[in-house]
Structure 1
Amino acid sequence: MLEWINEFGWIIWLTVFLLLAVAEMLTLNLYFILMSVGALAALVAYLFHGALWLQIVIFCVVALATTVLIRPVALAHLRKGPVDQLSNVDRLIGHNAVVLEAVSTTGGLVKIGGDVWTARIRTGADIPVGAPVEVSAIDGATAIINLPGAHKPTGTATTTA
């Protein structure tokens, strides 16, 4: 058995590499791909006629080192986005809308882009159907609206839940 492992070690390490790469594609957590780097290092050790124990040690050391040293940096880089990046709801603030159902302080409906939203005004007289309005804030799933130019957008959405 040991002779077979020594003779076909490259197949074993290549298979381990491919299985770990496939596992990474299924999980996307950066553990398996870094372990697969260890399998590639062990494959290189095999190609340079390293002993089986050395191949296993190289696999373990490289897999551990890449997981400890590379994974945190890679995750920080992958999760980093622009500082001023707005969420999909925050992007609606400042957009124009059309009133579909009269809007008061208790509720109503507006169309923002192609979507129908519940809406309300903070204070003032009801806004009639068909009136152009501007989104000044988002409160949960409700657009807070004003007549155009009546309120400068705040830039952030809030939730009441």
Structure 2
Amino acid sequence: MDPWVWWLIAAVGLGIPLVVTAMPEFGMFAVGAVAAAGVAALGAGTVPQVLVFAAVSVALIAVVRPIAARHRRQRPHVPSGVEALKGRQAVVLERVDGDGGRIKLAGEVWSARTLNSDQICEVGQQVDVVDIDGATAVVM
């Protein structure tokens, strides 16, 4: 069998642990094996094939891993749950003051109180949600 076929078999063999373990390094080695198969198909000897495999694999690991690590650290924070409600606008359903009231927030009725105890929000008024305290929205 030709050497390039063996390199392709090696690439598939390295691709299996990539899928099973989700370790991207195996994928980089598989790409190195495909590059070595290309060199073998062009008629190069064993030493150039191994050098291409090693060079491509090491280059991919040296370049791709730091980029992937940087992206993993910089994941965008997507607020969910009550965190996603902070900063949204709501409509007052029942008068809201420092003691309580009701608002419609994101299609749901919430109990609410004002941030400042002397502030009063009347029915129909638009308010901003500044915090969620348990099951109570704090508005202003």
> Which stretches in structure 1 are left out of the alignment for 5+ residues?
1-6, 147-161
1:133–1:19 CA distance, 2 compared to 1 (3 A): farther
1:73-130 deviation per Cα after TM superposition (whole angstroms, max 9, x unaligned):
355468768xxx874446851x3213467755476664322356664422235657x5
- Once residues 51 and 140 of structure 1 are traced to their aligned partners in structure 2, the CA distance between those partners, rounded to angstroms, is 71
Gaps of 5+ in 2: none
Which deviates the most, 9-18 or 64-73? 9-18
How big is the shift at 1:63?
A: 0.9
TM-score, structure 1 as length reference: 0.53
2:59 pairs with 1:71: no
1:133 pairs, out of 91, 114, 126, with 126
CA RMSD in angstroms, aligned pairs only: 4.2
Q: CA deviation digits over 1:49-87, x for unaligned, max 9?
A: 334454334323321121112332355468768xxx874
2:62 match: secondary structure: helix
Aligned to 2:89: 96
Q: CA deviation at 1:47?
A: 1.0
Cα shift readout 1:15-71 (whole Å, capped 9, x = no counterpart): 4434555626973x6434332321222112221233445433432332112111233
The aligned residue for residue 159 of structure 1 is: none
Identity of aligned residues (%): 26
> Match for 2:28 among 34, 50, 57?
34
User: What letter matches 2:5 in structure 1?
Assistant: I
Report the equivalent of 1:113.
106
Contact 1:24 1:31 (C-alpha < 8 Å) held by counterparts:
no
Matched, 1:58 2:56: no
Does the CA-based 8 Å contact 1:96-1:132 persist in structure 2?
no
Q: Which amino acid aligns with 2:127?
A: E
* Distance of 2:65 and 2:99 partners within structure 1: 50
Q: 1:123 aligns with which of 113, 116, 122?
A: 116
Task: Sort the Cα spacing of 1:122 and 1:92 in 2 relative to 1 into closer, same or farther, 3 A.
Answer: closer
Secondary structure of 2:90's counterpart equals strand
